[in-house]
């Protein structure tokens, strides 16, 4: 007989607890046409040596992650996307890439403006973690439905642009991610995200604990967000896509 054990957040790593909570809200992803299992395993091996650092970074940003989870629920997007800033910026709200993508979600200026963020010499809302989250989730919502609720294709489009993914589908004559000819960077990006889900999405015991919904605080107000010092020195940890 299957039994459920009530486990509180203090008893399990936050990285797992936030996903348990998300699943308790019904925020499961429709992950079909999953990427190549061998490539996911390769990316998992890349991430595994950094597991402690990644978990620490997730823990110190738990208030922001809980906010992201609630906004994902609002947009009816997969809860696993709460891990996307870990891949993009390692939750560094000040991150800037060589391609001029910036902030938590690594939005380029054109995409940021497309989803109503102010980006100019005087103000750049990409570096506001809450305002930029709203824009990023609106973009992800658009991509998720454009690509038939396929998480792999949504991620590919977020990384490479929806036009490139659409053209790859047209050329391949099907919508299977594994059949598309996409840039190597995009292929690595998608498989690394699925590896990140594997790293934190399944408890070691192999069963899903029940996390009381009251264990997590309510959505934080925007003006309550403050940067807190890391519990350990995480400065060497780059965006996970750069590992």
Backbone angles phi, psi at 20, to 5 degrees: -60, -45
List the chain residues with pLDDT less than 50: 1-11, 23-32, 202-235
pLDDT value for 225: 34
Task: Decide if 12 is inside a domain.
Answer: no
Q: 10 Å Cβ neighbour count for 102?
A: 23
Q: Check if the beta carbon of residue 164 is closer than 8 Å to that of residue 12.
A: no
pLDDT value for 31: 45
Q: Torsion angle of alpha carbons 217, 222, 227, 230, nearest 10°?
A: 30
SS3 sequence, the chain? CCCCCECCHHHCCHHHHHHHHHHHCCCCCCCCCCCCHHHHHHHHHHHHHHHHHHHHHHHHCHHHHHHHHHHHHHHCCCHHHHHHHHHHHCCCCCCECCCCCECCCCECHHHHHHCCCCECCCCEHHHCHHHHHHHHHHHHHHHHHHCCCCHHHHHHHHHHCHHHHHHHHHHHCCCCHHHCCCCHHHHHHHHHHHHHHHHHHCCCCCCCCECCHHHCCCCCCHHHCCCCCCCCCCCCCCCHHHC
Residues 152-185 as b/e (b if ≥16 CB within 10 A, e otherwise) read bbbbbbbbbebebbeebbeeeeebebeebebeee
pLDDT value for 200: 80
pLDDT value for 208: 29
pLDDT value for 16: 57
Task: Decide if 185 is inside a domain.
Answer: yes
Task: Decide if 28 is inside a domain.
Answer: no
Domain count, the chain: 1
Active-site annotation holds for 88? yes
Q: Is the dihedral of CA 65, 68, 72, 78 positive or negative?
A: negative
pLDDT value for 10: 46
Q: 10 Å Cβ neighbour count for 111?
A: 19
Q: Check if the beta carbon of residue 39 is closer than 8 Å to that of residue 191.
A: yes
Assigned token pair, 164: 């490139």
Task: Decide if 110 is inside a domain.
Answer: yes
Task: Decide if 8 is inside a domain.
Answer: no
Beta bridge pairs of residue 107: 102
Task: Decide if 50 is inside a domain.
Answer: yes
Of 41, 55, 60, 88, the active-site residue reads: 88
Domain CATH code at residue 164: 1.10.530.10
Expressed as residue numbers, the domain containing 83 is: 34-206
Task: Decide if 27 is inside a domain.
Answer: no
pLDDT value for 43: 93
Task: Decide if 9 is inside a domain.
Answer: no
């Amino acid at each position: 007989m299957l039994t459920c054990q009530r486990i509180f957040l203090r008893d399990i790593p936050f990285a797992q607890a936030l996903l348990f909570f998300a699943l308790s809200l019904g925020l499961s992803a429709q992950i079909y046409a999953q990427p190549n299992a061998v490539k996911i395993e390769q990316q998992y091996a890349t991430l595994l040596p950094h597991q402690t650092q990644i978990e620490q970074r997730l823990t110190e940003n738990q208030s922001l992650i809980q906010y992201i989870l609630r906004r994902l629920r609002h947009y009816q997007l997969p809860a696993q996307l709460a891990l996307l800033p870990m891949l993009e910026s390692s939750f560094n709200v000040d991150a800037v890439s060589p391609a001029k993508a910036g902030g938590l979600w690594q939005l380029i200026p054109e995409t940021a403006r497309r989803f109503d963020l102010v980006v100019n010499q005087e103000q750049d809302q990409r570096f506001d973690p809450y305002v930029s989250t709203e824009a990023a989730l609106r973009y992800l919502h658009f991509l998720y439905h454009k690509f038939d609720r396929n998480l792999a294709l949504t991620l590919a489009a977020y990384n490479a642009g929806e036009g490139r993914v659409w053209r790859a589908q047209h050329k391949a004559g099907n919508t299977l991610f594994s059949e598309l000819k996409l840039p190597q960077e995009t292929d690595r990006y998608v498989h690394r995200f699925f590896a990140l889900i594997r790293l934190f999405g399944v408890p070691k015991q192999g069963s899903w604990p029940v996390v009381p919904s009251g264990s997590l605080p309510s959505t934080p107000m925007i003006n309550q967000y403050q940067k807190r010092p890391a519990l350990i020195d995480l400065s060497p940890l780059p965006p996970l896509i750069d590992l």
